[in-house]
Amino acid sequence: MRKMTRSLKWLILAAVLAVNLAVGARLHAREAAARADQAAQDSPYQMYELFSKVVEQVRAHYVDAEKSTYDELVEGALKGMLQSLDPHSQFMDKEAYKAMKEETAGQFGGLGITIGIRDAMLTVIVPMEGTPAFRAGLLSGDKIVEINGESTEGLALEEAVKKLRGDPGTRVVIKVFRPRTQLMKDFELERAIINVPSVKDTRMLDNDIGYVRMLQFGESTVADLDAELKTLEEQGARALVLDLRSNPGGLLSAAVGVAEKFLRRGDLIVFTRSRDNRMERAYRARPARPFPRVPMVVLINGSSASASEIVAGALQDNKRAILVGEKSFGKGSVQSVLPQDGGTAIRLTTAKYYTPSERVIHDNGIEPDIVVPMSAENWRNILLARNRAEEENGPEGDVSADEGWTNDEGAELPALPAATLEEAVDLDNVSDPQLERATDMLRGILVYQKR
24: left (phi > 0), else alpha (psi -120 to 50), else beta?
alpha
306 catalytic? Reply is yes
d(CA 110, CA 27): 60
CA distances 359 to 220, 332, 404, Å, are: 28, 11, 43
Please identify which of the residues 267, 317, 398, 432 carries the catalytic annotation: 317
d(CA 89, CA 96): 13
317 catalytic? Reply is yes
**Contacts with 112 (C-beta within 8 Å, 6 or more apart), sequence order:** 127, 128, 130, 131, 132, 133, 134, 192, 194, 196
State the DSSP code for 290: P
d(CA 230, CA 222): 12
Report the chain's terminal Cα–Cα distance, integer Å.
84
Torsion of Cα atoms, 364 then 244 then 376 then 436, to 10°: 120
Alpha helices in 300-340 (DSSP H): 307-317
d(CA 281, CA 270): 9
Please identify which of the residues 162, 175, 261, 331 carries the catalytic annotation: 331
CA distances 29 to 20, 22, 26, 51, Å, are: 14, 10, 5, 34
Whether the Cβ atoms of residue 201 and residue 211 lie closer than 8 Å to each other:
yes
Residue 449 CB neighbour total at 10 angstroms: 11
Residue 53 identity (one-letter amino acid) = K
**Contacts with 397 (C-beta within 8 Å, 6 or more apart), sequence order:** none
351 DSSP β-pair partners: 334
Select from 109, 201, 140, 160 the least CA-distant residue to 377: 140
Please identify which of the residues 140, 198, 303, 306 carries the catalytic annotation: 306
328 catalytic? Reply is no
- Which residues are catalytic, by number? 306, 317, 331
